[in-house]
Structure 1
């Protein structure tokens, strides 16, 4: 398992404990990005696809591939990226350390996001979530839809013309919005989802690739809108209490 490191948000100075996520290679061996000790974290103001990946080589099978850069979403709304050592050489060292931890093999973990209400207990009645790697905006929609199905929502599908009402996904008693943009989701988008939920008497969920503006986070907490941040493996992470509750209890009765 990767080492837990103290990290200060460059935007607000808040201290976090960060542990780089471990992901399985196609051969089953776990790999973790080697976070550089002592290097200053960076606030990501504009996210690009190329800058969001790091090249690692699996020490078990020798396969070199692209893996998500280590990042986290601070409670202040900043998206923070941590520098890594080297590319393939650094990946070998981190993967070798991770290979000793059999508990990490071969599933992708589902941690609570830094700044959320705390550790989320794993759902007892669900199989492990199988993420969809995000490389395009369409992949973000697919990953969010798969996650909502995993939470227990039925009939999840694309909503059609998003420009008409701002809804990207629909399900049985569900409306959801997905923001694949490279800038934090603004307040207006969160309020739009809440209004759609109230109008249709439905549960809601918001998925963002680049995190949320500070006022959007605050408003979502006031309105009880579940917020998730998508990492590039396609694994959503909860960022507020409403999202934690949705994971614990699934769709409302």
Structure 2
């Protein structure tokens, strides 16, 4: 059994409302749950702008020792303020206790999705999925794509499109060209699917296409994505 994350009391700095918050856990590649330790004496801050370095923390899995980046804990207050929750110790590092984690799994465990409510959730869902596939060193891409949000891993460049418009032929080609300059493979994640010519071009260029449903589960949208989903990172 996975241990439940400990809840802490959080006060909204805008409306002073009190909330009880427990951080979500995310599955490490080894199968163990990873969650940050919260600072019980820390103060929640309002999120006024987004920056990759502030949205993610590095957590060490207590079962296998692997370090990866995961979403920094946040909470939405009914007053409309998004609260960034204080993490214990150094703000960039937290751990899950070894006692709370199961032994490393020999085979890949079922994917644990992240519910999508915001554009940030879509990026998180794609990053968690890529980590589940076995990609490492996930981070924001060095080059910003013409649309959507770029994320990178070792040997892979991915684009996440959280808009309500299907990804276009130009979007797919721009991703491929950028990946070529970095000598990396690429993959595309879209909430609204793909235009017909974009699908055709992706097949020709060797780009796996995924559609993100609101549960946060990437659904393969072409044969290349089916293959990647089945085999994982190589």
Q: TM-score, normalised by structure 1?
A: 0.48
* Aligned with residue 128 of structure 1, among 107, 110, 119: 110
| Change beyond 3 A, Cα 1:187–1:165 | closer
Pairs aligned (count) = 129
1:204 aligns with one of 186, 200, 210: 186
What's the counterpart of residue 89 of structure 1? Answer: none
Q: Aligned equivalents of 1:250 and 1:200: distance in 2?
A: 21
Structure scoring higher RCO (CA < 8 A, sep ≥ 6) equals: 1
Within-5 A mapping of 1:81-120: none
Q: Do the aligned partners of residues 247 and 163 (structure 1) sit closer, same or farther apart at CA in structure 2, a change above 3 Å counting?
A: closer
Which runs of structure 2 are paired with 1:39-118 in the superposition (5 Å)?
none
Provide the rounded CA distance (Å) in 1 between the counterparts of 2:187 and 2:141.
14
Q: 1:130 to 1:196 in 2, by over 3 A?
A: same
Structure 1's unaligned 5+ residue stretches are 1-123
Aligned counterpart, 1:7:
none
Determine if contact 2:162/2:191 at 8 Å carries over to the other structure.
yes
What residue in structure 2 maps to residue 184 of structure 1?
166
Residue 222 of structure 2 aligns with which residue?
240
Distance in 1 between the 2:162 and 2:208 partners?
Answer: 17
Inter-CA distance 165–183: structure 2 relative to 1 (3 Å threshold): closer
Do the aligned partners of residues 128 and 143 (structure 1) sit closer, same or farther apart at CA in structure 2, a change above 3 Å counting?
A: same
Gaps of 5+ in 2: 1-105
Distance 1:194 1:210, change over 3 A: same
| Aligned alpha-carbon RMSD (Å) | 2.0
8 Å CA contact 2:115–2:214 kept in 1: the answer is yes
Question: Matches of 2:184 and 2:227 in 1, distance apart?
Answer: 16
